[in-house]
Structure 1
Amino acid sequence: MTFTVTVQPSGRSFSVERDEPILAAAIRQGIGLPYGCKDGACGTCKSRLLEGRVIHGVHQHKALSVEEEEGGFTLTCCAAPQTDVVIEARTVAGAGEFPVRKMPTRVTTIERPAPDVAVIKMQLPANDPLRYHAGQYVEFILRDGSRRSYSMANAPHTQGDKPWIELHIRHMPGGKFTDQVFGGMKERDILRMEGPFGSFFLREDSTKPMVLLASGTGFAPIKAIIEEMQFKAIARPAVLYWGCRSKADLYLHDWAIQAAHDIPNLTYIPVLSEPKPEDAWTDRTGFVHQAVMADLPDLSRHQVYACGAPIMVESAQRDFVAKCGLPEEEFLADSFTSEADKHGD
């Protein structure tokens, strides 16, 4: 049995198999809906159910509360239709543009720019570049079938004749995948991955000034977006705020300084929340989203790209909209939800 999902206000329709989440069917058919984690944890795919009935799978209450569900909202990533349904959701131009594919990848280099961060370059099949938007992510398929998501840190055009992607991976002690990365992974290891996924990428139809907001390894997709801006000579004003605990956590600090030097319309502002005495830090301190608010109290004409820890993304979205006048639809985010975030409320 299949059901029909209609998306308003675009009017686009697509079919969904019985017990299949709406989002999975949309991705399979190239329909561009907004989404992030695909696991009911981030809330990016939250939409209004206008007609019909769905059953929700497991999800976090912070992503969709009981009150919101009773009020007619749904998470498309874990909502399976029980009838034909109509949802209200922004369609994201380009989100379904590139086919989702499975492919093998080979580790070519592993660097450790910080004690708990690995920058890994992965070789893709020869003459077969991965087509994606800067800001999107791939999922690694582990031996037991579980998956781990990481954003590409290089823009698509950098792949060249020998396709490759760059990933920034923070060690999460006890993590099934990151323990492997920081323990036994070595050059020439082969992994299996699938992608691209996600609706977090540059909206090129906008001319608004941009705030690029990153915490920790949330810098990875922001780096790809900056490379894309430079490659396409996008002249919109952009300010990069990168928040970390200490200076060592700014693992590509020199890269960001150089990018701001090379791109006339880009400014770089690093912010440390817990600088160490040996950092001799004289620049900005505190929470990174509050640094944005201090500098830009009026965000009503801006567009924000935020990526990193869920607490940072949630705080920024709440405060930028409520206190700085940012239109809700201009807050674009990729919340780096860990497995603990996905399975604990």
Structure 2
Amino acid sequence: MQKVNCSLEALEEMADSIWYVRLKPSQPVDFNPGQYLLVVMADDDKRPFSIANMPNGDGTIEMHIGATPDNGYAMQVLNRIQELGHIDLQLPAGKAYLRARSRHPVILMAGGTGYAYTRSILQQMLADGLHRPVFIYWGVRFAEQLYADQELKNWVAEHKELTYVPVVQNSDELWQGRTGLVHEAIMADFPSLTGYDIYVAGRFEMAGVAREAFKEKGVEADHLFGDAYEFI
């Protein structure tokens, strides 16, 4: 992996306790859409975060960080970036990157800020031109956490092959969309998952439950991708 110092270009709160970070590496970096990075806090403390954009001409790296006062793991990273104006990263990491040569239809499943991982993949697919159906399912606890809802709706309006399904676990009377758990929405919508490339990002518990459920629908192990599956 490459180690590179990155300067802070942008930091803004997209939703309550969810932050957009854009960094500019001091030298060119290379990664595949869907790979992740390690924030170097110390030699023995390197913290993984998804890269939220595809490789681009200006070389910037985007992150979506969910940081609350009781989540020291992420909050310490955010504070370090804010205080210093720069941070050391190691990248790329991860094997759950986009299989660009595949012609299978794609399901992208994200939980919370796991959307960052699916966004990197989706951005690249849109840039390459959608030649196959793509379904993105984004699950959150509360509707206000759908911080990129308008971005996805705009992409859907531009690309007939793209379907976007937001799923809210704890809905109120104002929410008119799907409710419950995001993997259950996929289970309900697809009689079979055979022949699909499925990319999963979110908490390890969610990824594990989804893998077992998707087996019931015939998902092929070599077409199910997620960094969590390297550890669980």
2:46 maps to which of 147, 150, 163: 147
Which residue matches 2:206? 312
Equivalent residue of 2:227, what SS?
strand
Residue 131 of structure 1 pairs with residue 30 of structure 2 = yes
Q: Any residues of structure 2 matched to 1:86-105 within 5 Å, and which?
A: 100-105=1-6
- With over 3 angstroms needed to count, the CA separation of the structure-2 counterparts of 1:196 and 1:182, relative to structure 1, is closer
CA contact (8 A) 1:154 1:224 kept: yes
* Cα separation, 2, equivalents of 1:118 and 1:154: 14
2:61 maps to which of 155, 165, 173: 165
2:220 maps to which of 315, 322, 327: 327
CA contact (8 A) 1:218 1:336 kept: no
Gaps spanning 5+ residues in structure 2: where? none
Which residue matches 2:110? 214
* Cα separation, 2, equivalents of 1:143 and 1:328: 36
Higher helix content, 1 or 2: 2
Equivalent residue of 2:23, what SS?
strand
CA contact (8 A) 2:136 2:165 kept: yes
CA RMSD, Structure 1 to Structure 2 (Å): 2.1
- Normalising by structure 1, what TM-score? 0.63
Deviations 1:166-200 (A, max 9, x none): 00111154444422355564286111111101001
Structure 1: which amino acid aligns with 2:2? R
Which residue matches 1:259? 155
Structure 2: which amino acid aligns with 1:120? V
- With over 3 angstroms needed to count, the CA separation of the structure-2 counterparts of 1:281 and 1:311, relative to structure 1, is same
* Cα separation, 2, equivalents of 1:296 and 1:135: 24
Equivalent residue of 2:82, what SS?
coil
Q: Any residues of structure 2 matched to 1:42-61 within 5 Å, and which?
A: none
Q: Where in structure 1 do 4 or more consecutive aligned residues deviate above 6 Å?
A: none
Structure 1: which amino acid aligns with 2:198? V
* Cα separation, 2, equivalents of 1:232 and 1:204: 9
Structure 2: which amino acid aligns with 1:250? L
Which residue matches 2:126? 230
Structure 2: which amino acid aligns with 1:148? R
- Normalising by structure 2, what TM-score? 0.92
2:143 maps to which of 247, 250, 253: 247
Gaps spanning 5+ residues in structure 1: where? 1-99
1:302 maps to which of 178, 196, 209: 196
Percent same amino acid among aligned pairs? 29
* Cα separation, 2, equivalents of 1:216 and 1:324: 24
Larger Rg: 1 or 2?
Answer: 1
Shift of 1:333: 1.1
CA contact (8 A) 1:122 1:164 kept: yes
Equivalent residue of 1:242, what SS?
strand
Which residue matches 1:270? 166
- By relative contact order (CA 8 Å, sep 6+), the higher-ranking structure is 2
CA contact (8 A) 2:130 2:159 kept: no
Shift of 1:309: 1.2
Equivalent residue of 2:44, what SS?
coil
Shift of 1:130: 1.2
Deviations 1:98-155 (A, max 9, x none): xx21110111111111112111000111xx3211000001101114631111111110
Equivalent residue of 1:163, what SS?
coil
